[in-house]
Amino acid sequence: MRTGPLATRLAALLVGTGLAGPGAAAGDAPIPAERFALARSEMVAQQLRARGIADARVLQAMGRVPRHEFVPPLLRGFAYADRPLPIGHDQTISQPYIVAFMTEALRPAPTDRVLEIGTGSGYQAAVLAELVAQVLTIEIVAPLGERARDDLARLGYRNVQVRVGDGYEGWPEHAPFDAIIVTCSPEHVPQPLVEQLREGGRMIIPVGSQALGQELYLLEKRGGKVERRSVLPVRFVPMTGKALDAAPPR
């Protein structure tokens, strides 16, 4: 989930007061890997399993992916906290529960090809990469997309392909997709994404505006038609680019 300026101001306050996580200040010793592993285990138990995330494969993936590698060094001490964290450019890495909830809702299978709109830090793509055959992810903010590509490659996620560009029209060259996940909120579901979802495919997407409210929807394509149900109230930043000018489908 991306919460924009509020999370950025929070991070600035934490840094300014010296609370940006142990080992964050210049010259401090780095945080031991064992401490991150313990924090990750506690995150899975207390934030995910305790709140109803039940898919064993999703829990295992969340327990494997090094979330601290996807946040700025100054905030690594908070990487496994129950909150989003800023990653620059008024964007954030989503709260762990939201990542797990959206991933579980997609019912990822080992043979799936998944499209993600809104790469951000690359963390959600990494979680999906643990669960499916291929992840294709699009980020409109070039510096974020490039950094995510580098981080995912550095961490060995060979089944993730990152593209910098506008995600409203999806990635038709690789369609159809078994699942699509969107991490920014358009005011309507983009028709190109619906068209690129295979029969039986699933899409998880926030829809609405920050002013009027947003809902997270799960869509499933059956018999050429899309069934849609609301699953959670959320708050994401708006989808930008072509989404701002596109008319809703009739």
* Active site (catalytic) residues: 94
Percent of the chain with pLDDT over 70: 87
- Across 64-79, average pLDDT: 96
pLDDT in tens, 88-144: 998 989 999 999 999 999 999 999 999 999 999 999 999 999 999 999 999 999 999
d(CA 172, CA 161): 14
pLDDT score of 103: 98
Which one-letter DSSP state was computed for residue 185? B
In the CATH scheme, what is the homologous superfamily, with its name and number, of domain 5-244? Vaccinia Virus protein VP39 (3.40.50.150)
Q: Domains of the chain: which residue ranges?
A: 5-244
Percent of the chain with pLDDT over 90: 75
- Across 214-234, average pLDDT: 94
Hey, what long-range contacts does 212-216 have (CB within 8 A, 24 or more apart)? 214/185, 216/102
Lowest mean pLDDT among 65-74, 179-188, 232-241: 232-241
pLDDT score of 249: 67
- Confidence class of residue 173 from pLDDT cuts 50, 70 and 90? very high
User: Of 189, 205, 211, which is closest to residue 98 (Cα–Cα)?
Assistant: 205
Cis amide bond preceding 176, omega within 30: yes
